[in-house]
Amino acid sequence: MSRSASLSLAALALLIARPGYSETGDREARAAARVSVSIPSVHGADVPSRPAESGRAVFAASRPPQSPRLELPALRVMSSNGDASIQLVRRVRDTGAVTVASSPRRRSQTREDVSTASRSGATGWTELHDELEIPAVAAASRGARRVTVIYEVWSF
């Protein structure tokens, strides 16, 4: 392959890969036609905690000290043509939540473009292979300059 041909191919690749929105703010242009995210390694707790310093331990634990380990899922966020889903593929205990939000494109663009999808049950997460709808990804892909995926973990 000649040098010029490979440069042309690289330029074509960059054109294909460039963001679908314009800096002038074309809201109709589509950014984030597809977003794939995985967070394979997040854990709640498994680090030994140190007791409070003597003389200052005026709090008594209401329960024996606990450090439940959270097994968190690999997370995949996929968005294509306005459809979005999150797939949880591992076992998780306690309560987990996944939040997807788009940064406001303008100051006036706030709550409407930020939404949350989460799933939990009275027994916490169980083995899940289902999908959660996340309209925010679609909203983000239509107009936001940037998509922020927040993987949020709680343990009660």
Footprint of another protein on 7-66 (CB under 8 A): 9-10, 13-14, 16-20, 30-50, 52-53, 56-63, 65-66
Sorted by sequence, the CB contacts under 8 Å of residue 103 that are 6+ apart come out as 144, 145, 146, 147, 148
- Tokens standing for residue 8: 């042309």
One symbol per residue from 80 to 119: x for binding another protein (CB under 8 A), - otherwise; what is it?
Answer: --------------xx-x--------------------xx
Residue 96 bridge partners (DSSP)? 153
- Tokens standing for residue 117: 């999808």
Least CB distance to another protein at residue 156 (A): 5
Least CB distance to another protein at residue 107 (A): 19
Interface size with another protein, residues (CB under 8 A): 71
Classified as helix, coil or strand, 131 is strand
According to the binding rule CB under 8 A, does residue 156 interact with another protein?
A: yes
**Nearer of residues 2 and 108 to another protein, judged by Cβ:** 2
Classified as helix, coil or strand, 74 is coil
According to the binding rule CB under 8 A, does residue 123 interact with another protein?
A: yes
For Cα atoms 44, 56, 69, give the angle at the middle one, nearest 5 degrees: 10
**Nearer of residues 109 and 120 to another protein, judged by Cβ:** 120
